[in-house]
């Protein structure tokens, strides 16, 4: 279970109410307990992750045929390893920090 400081509690001022079946609530409670979290912590973490996934899956950009071909060639080419790439791959994603 994550300890909350008074500052953490003060920053969480938004309230969301959900209606759900008792079986859904029990399932969430069991999963939260298995991870050592309370219901709110579990639901906030799961919701945040689902929101990030949904937004990341919807990133789109448009390219003309020539630029698309060049882009695909870059994707298909093996990476050229260098220190900047190694550092990038070793850095945790911003949502995991």
DSSP-assigned states of every residue in 29-42: HHHHHHTT--HHHH
Are 35 and 42 within 8 A, CB to CB? yes
pLDDT tens readout for residues 26-70: 999 999 999 999 999 999 999 999 999 998 878 778 899 999 999
* Threshold 0.75, pTM exceeds: no
* Separation between Cα atoms, residue 72 and residue 63, nearest integer Å: 11
Strand, coil or helix: 80: coil
Give 10-20 pLDDT, tens digit per residue.
676 788 999 99
Per-residue pLDDT for 2 more than 60? no
Enumerate the domain spans of the chain.
6-96
């Amino acid at each position: 279970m994550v300890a909350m400081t008074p500052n953490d509690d003060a920053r969480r001022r938004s309230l969301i109410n959900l209606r759900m079946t008792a079986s859904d609530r029990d399932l969430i409670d069991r999963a939260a307990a298995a991870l050592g979290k309370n219901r709110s912590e579990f639901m906030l973490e799961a919701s945040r992750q689902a929101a990030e996934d949904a937004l990341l899956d919807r990133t789109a950009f448009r390219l003309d045929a020539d630029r698309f071909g060049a882009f695909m060639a870059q994707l298909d080419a093996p990476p050229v390893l260098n220190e900047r790439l190694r550092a990038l791959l070793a850095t945790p994603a911003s949502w995991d920090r």
